[in-house]
Amino acid sequence: MSRSPAVSVVVATYNRAKLLRETIDSILHQRFQDYELIVVDDGSTDDTRAMLAGFGSRIRYFYQENRGPSAARNAGVRHAVGRWISIQDSDDLCAPNHLECLYGYVTDRPHYGMVFANGGYLGGSNHDRETIIPTAKSRRLAAHGVQLADLFDKSIVRLQAALISKAAYEAVGGHDETLRICMDLDLAFRLFMNSAVAYLDEVIFFYRKHDGNSSRNEELRLTENIQVIEKLVVQNKTAGALLGEKRVAARLAYRYYRLARGRRKHGERSGARSAITQASRLRPLSLKYRLYRLHWAFF
């Protein structure tokens, strides 16, 4: 590795010692080697520190009291030396071509704020497909470019498949440390609104599904998703104009509807009624939301 590496790989981790070793190994076996590897331990209470000690000088280790993944990632980027940042989760695996593919693209395009690609699933297909972004959509994005609506209609950006300019990351303020699940979507929105973003039709990482995935907290995921969407349109008038009021209202309403269903399932009557009321207000002509609002008013 050179004294000033081209890329800084940042891994934030919390109590994942059993999965983290394989993640670290996948990064260390990259074909592209001009990088540094930073691991931020966000207050782990397992044997993370002892396990990582075995990697010696191949990693830069930092420990902090538990403050959440966004804060840990921001801390890692502050320590980063490279001009480009690769943010990796501590349970997924990088393909050997990961950094080679992404850095190869930005080498002649330094003005880009982010380039991202596709991912696969460890253990085979999931959701009836082999890749996180369906094949046809992946090809379209690579051929025609990424639009805000692509990011908005479906959360397609996985930071495990992205390379971000450190300057662009810092310009938008890094990760929102109030978020614990939807921080990738929020950051992707802000990067897109402030810099050029590109997509490559390549599979460069593998997502591991397990009981510890933060995305399994449905209540928090939905409330944060709503927060991120509202933040996007409030802080960026251009974003609201590009997307249109109907598209924004439709997505928010659906999130409130899903939130209402989850709360009703868990017996949270007041919360369910509040959420379905919000959905109905956003889409007052929706018969489905009106019927659910009427039905749930009496349960």
What pLDDT does residue 60 have? 98
Tens of pLDDT, residues 52-63: 999 999 999 999
Interval 215-248: pLDDT, tens: 458 999 999 999 999 999 999 999 999 999 999 9
266 pLDDT tier (thresholds 50, 70, 90):
very high
Q: What band does 125 get if pLDDT is binned at 50, 70 and 90?
A: low
- Distance, in Å, from the CA atom of 13 to the CA atom of 11, rounded to the nearest integer, reads 6
Residue range 128-154: mean pLDDT, rounded: 93
- Average pLDDT over all residues of the chain: 93
Residues 215 and 183: beta-carbon distance below 8 Å: no
How high is the pLDDT of residue 295? 83
How far is 70 from 177, CA to CA, in rounded Å?
5
* pLDDT of amino acid 1: 46
Residue 39 phi, psi (nearest 5): -115, 125
pLDDT tens, 168-179?
Answer: 999 999 999 999
Tens of pLDDT, residues 183-204:
999 999 999 999 999 999 999 9
Judged by DSSP in three states, 270 sits in helix
Distances (CA, A) of 41 to 7, 51, 66, 118: 20, 12, 8, 27
Overall average pLDDT of the 32-49 stretch? 97
- At residue 45 the predicted structure's pLDDT band, cuts being 50, 70 and 90, is very high
Burial class from Cβ neighbours inside 10 Å (0-12, 13-18, 19+) for residue 203 reads: buried
The rounded distance, in Å, linking the Cα atoms of 298 and 293 is 9
Which of 161-165, 211-215, 242-246 has the weakest average pLDDT? Answer: 211-215
Lowest mean pLDDT among 16-30, 132-146, 214-228: 214-228
- 120's tokens: 């696969």
DSSP state letters, 9-76: EEEEESS-HHHHHHHHHHHHT-S---EEEEEEEES--SSHHHHHHTTGGGSEEEEE----HHHHHHHH
CA distance 59 to 54: 10
Q: What percent of the chain has pLDDT over 70?
A: 94
Give the integer Cα–Cα distance in Å for 98 and 185.
21
Q: Is the pLDDT of residue 2 over 70?
A: no
pLDDT level of residue 299 (50, 70, 90 thresholds):
low
**Domains of the chain by start residue, with CATH:** 7-215 (3.90.550.10), 216-296 (1.25.40)
pLDDT for position 122: 86
